Chains A and B, each alone.
Chain A
Amino acid sequence: MTDNPYPLDKADLLQAYRTMRTIREFEERLHIDFAKGDIPGFVHLYAGEEACATGIMMHLNDNDRIASTHRGHGHCIAKGVDVHEMMAEIYGRSTGACRGKGGSMHIADLSKGMMGANGILGAGAPLICGAALAAKFRGDGGVGITFVGDGASNQGTFLESMNLAAVWNLPVVFVVENNGYAESTAMEWAVSCDSYIDRATGFGLPGVTVDGTDFFAVHEAAGEIIRRAREGGGPALLECNMVRFYGHFEGDAQTYRAKGEVESLRANRDCIKLLAQRLTETGIVAPAELETIDREVNALIEDAVRCAKAAPLPVAADLLKDVYVAY
């Protein structure tokens, strides 16, 4: 038996791979189905960024809350939201996670601590401060994680929330998923500082920057920051530098990107390929084991799409339902 040089046992390593593969397969399938016209509305894909959601969420339980973004499918899957319910939601079906009333940008499952993808950039940061405050009042050790992209990192809500979390000493982790683009606008142009660490420091928070395509780097850094928050050490910022394989939204021709950029990223900075390489090179995992997972994931997504397409649409009465608890 080969020695495992990683701080995770084999089952966890395989689970990490499975989660990342599930996200990738989910997104690749949406890319195809969207192009066919099967999916209504806006879809923002997380492909290329899987190591970030997975490396962070492995430290969380259902008691911990996350506030996601418009690019939220990866966060949902990694937080344990049911893939069938997610797919049905994106297809606008009544069996969806939000009964077809939310869609891709609003998938939520509060029972899993997933407080919603969010169509308003930066809006999740104040909400997660509240979730962390609730955890603090309950004394249940829960933490809150809020995700923003490099774009939403410029929102006042995000900056104000770092200050509030510091002042109230809340167990919050602010994750900046820096994929280099705010929609089509380059991070280098739109963000006034060189490093998010500088912004965190400005609010009295510790900050760490990691290579977001390196699952192990994310997992390790997130683990420390989350443990610290859980133990009452207060908020912190984690910047994950990562890559976006698709456009801002599906249908984006990405003319703002350099020629060959995406191809090069897919060849050299694919977080799943990198993880698979590390796992197989060290001999901890046999390639066949990963191939088995790949097949199972393919079957899962295929089944999710089949079920979503067969599921009933919401009925007219649903239009008026659930505006209020009682009115």
Chain B
Amino acid sequence: MSRKISMKTAINEALDLEMRRDPTVILMGEDIVGGTGAPGEDDAWGGVLGVTKGLFAKHGDRLLDTPLSESAYIGAAIGAAACGMRPVAELMFMDFMGVCFDQIFNQAAKFRYMFGGKAETPVVIRGMVGAGFRAAAQHSQMLTPLFTHIPGLKVVCPSNAYDAKGLLIQSIRDNDPVIFCEHKNLYGHETEVPAESYAIPFGEANVLRDGDHVTIVSYGLTVHRAMEAADALARDKVEAEVIDLRTLSPIDWDTIIDSVERTGRLVVVDEAHPRCNLATDISAFVAQNAFGALKAGIQMVTPPHTPVPFSPSLEDLYIPSAEAVAAAVRRTMAPSPRSTLAA
């Protein structure tokens, strides 16, 4: 049975299904129950934006509210994972990574390698990413490149409810540490989602739209900007292929390269800061491995190299827009000076 549900509900459903399936799955985080120890209702919040609402009623003590103490409880999730549990720890905003990153990149990410292949750390760290919520500089970042940089971590960033459910289920079943990035501006976005359980394998990008003229690669919220741009371009007879990466580590290089070899043009749209991000990574990979197929310079659409601003007038300028994506595509379509000269 399929029905339209929001990404928030899809995430809740994935957690519920996996907790039913596997007794070692436990959830922990700040206010994921909400109101623990307070005089009012139990399960008052279900997470700061209600993503885990209702799960305490179903699974009781397997949901643990934590003190505001990210280093301690993210580390505890990792330690429990190394001891046979499958914890899903919510880091309310990925921006809080700064206070607990050691536990993730020096501990969880390295156990398997550093201990000679003798450890498994099946932990999921899930949290909100992205701008557009008027949440300002410390609650709005797209920090995905921090995570893709680290060997040992897997990094997931879904663009819709269907993918969020299947990818989260896969994340929980996966035996490596997974950073699961949820764009807060997609929580209310609805798509058709089957009620039953399903897992989407990692490293398989989703081609959302076929096209022969240009390849647009993105992930998360900006996938939607890319699709808007593709629709606008189609009116001018420019057919863009839009690739939603879904997982950033592992990344589906084959789908990107196959597409660029067909279209000869590449635009990468990334909400992360522009230096050493997914856009630069993908651009470099394509330049190294499919240079001969390129008919034009690669274009990158990113925010400027600034923190995320607060004022709506500035934040709207910060986030890559559909217009910016379309403009980048048009730049790749324009005849290059060299080809003009040759003509």
Contacts and interface: CB of A to CB of B under 8 A. Distances in A.
Nearest to B75: A126
Contacts, number: 154
Contacts of B111: 108, 116
A322 interface: yes
Nearest to B81: A130
A127 B79 contact: yes
Given A65-B79, A108-B115, 16 more contacts: A67-B79, A101-B115, A102-B116, A116-B111, A125-B72, A126-B74, A126-B75, A130-B78, A130-B82, A134-B79, A134-B84, A163-B69, A164-B73, A164-B76, A322-B112, A322-B113
Interface residues of A, number: 48
20 contacts: A65-B79, A96-B116, A98-B116, A101-B113, A102-B116, A108-B115, A108-B118, A125-B72, A126-B78, A130-B80, A130-B83, A130-B87, A134-B85, A137-B80, A156-B71, A160-B67, A163-B67, A322-B117, A323-B152, A326-B174
Interface in B123-159: 151-152, 154
Contact of B116 (A67, A123, A322, A326): A322
Interface in B198-252: 203, 250
A104 B250 CA distance: 31
Interface string A104-145: 001011110001101110010111111101110110000010
Nearest to B69: A160
Interface in A307-327: 321-327
Closest 9 CB pairs of A and B: A126-B75, A130-B79, A99-B116, A127-B79, A322-B117, A130-B80, A98-B116, A160-B72, A130-B76
A130 B151 contact: no
Interface string A145-176: 00000000000110011011001100000000
A167 B64 CA distance: 11
Interface stretch (B39-47, B99-107, B329-337): B99-107
Contacts of B81: 130
Given A127-B76, A127-B82, A129-B75, A120 B107 contact: yes
A118 B76 CA distance: 15
Interface of B: 24, 26, 64, 66-67, 69, 71-85, 87, 102-103, 106-107, 111-120, 151-152, 154, 174-176, 203, 250
**A interface, by DSSP: helix, strand, loop or mixed?**
mixed
A130 B203 CA distance: 29
Contacts of B250: 327
